[in-house]
Amino acid sequence: MSQKKAILLVSFGTSYLESKAKTIDRIFTDVTEHFPDYAIYEAWTSKMILNILRKRDNLSIPSVEEAMETIVADGVQKLTVQPTHLINGLENDIMIHTILERAMDSIEVTFCDPLLTTTEDHRKVLNCLMAEYKTLSHEEALVLMGHGTTHHANSVYAALDYMLKDLEHPNIFLGTVEAYPSFQTLLRQIQKTSVKRIHLLPFMLTAGDHANKDMAGNQKDSWKSQFEAAGYPVICHIKGLGEYEGIRNIYLEHLQKGLLH
């Protein structure tokens, strides 16, 4: 059957199937339920993860290139693309280029915003998380681990950390694994406070390798181990952002706005 209007959900992906079910699959289900008049497609951008799933689990998820081949073959005329990316970074830039390169002239393509695009997005995301962890005492800190990127969009992480303080959450900190603010930046800030215990939470869509290894792993360079070495007891929360209904609703809002384009 030829579908004339469609939605394409694009994610980086994860090799952790349990996290996939709680995050990316939930977003797909939400979109299917809220927009029943559209054909829903999905694609992942990480070729490495796609290869792992094919070899390890015999699970085939289309790449962006493969999804576009199907969309063109199905006769889609109006395509709305909703990335589940957090920021307007490198993965998002490449995704847009790949889709435009493969879209036929007959396809009208609209790109919706990643999660953290506007200042209001930032506030909504942080307020969603703060509502979940509002019972922390003044002697506890919540430390959010973001990914980080060499792309100029990395500045969003420092802006979010600043906004947390502006929203009167002095004991909540946001850093990155691969960029700025770094672990050492956060440690220096926390050591200036009266904090005696650390809660660690991934600031990523899924709770995959970074959450389970770089954040909560037992190796010496994990954030958990480094905080413990600095004298802080640590509690790890292995929960991706896609598991929070409030976060998923922001994606739905972005998609709804794009469909009105």
- Residues with catalytic annotation? 147
Residues 6+ apart with CB under 8 A from 25: none
Tokens standing for 139? 């002697």
> Are residues 111 and 258 in contact, defined by beta-carbon separation less than 8 angstroms?
yes
| 126: alpha, beta or left? (left if phi > 0; alpha if psi -120 to 50) | alpha
| Residue 110 φ/ψ, nearest 5 degrees | -120, 130
Q: Give the strand order in the sheet containing 78-83.
A: 39-44, 5-11, 78-83, 108-111
Nearest to 144 by CA among 225, 18, 237, 227: 237
What are 111's strand-pairing partners? Answer: 81
E-strand ranges in 45-139 read 78-83, 108-111
SS3 for 227-240 is HHHCCCCEEECCCC
Burial label for 130, CB within 10 Å (0-12, 13-18, 19+), is middle
Q: Cα(234)–Cα(198) distance, rounded to whole angstroms?
A: 5
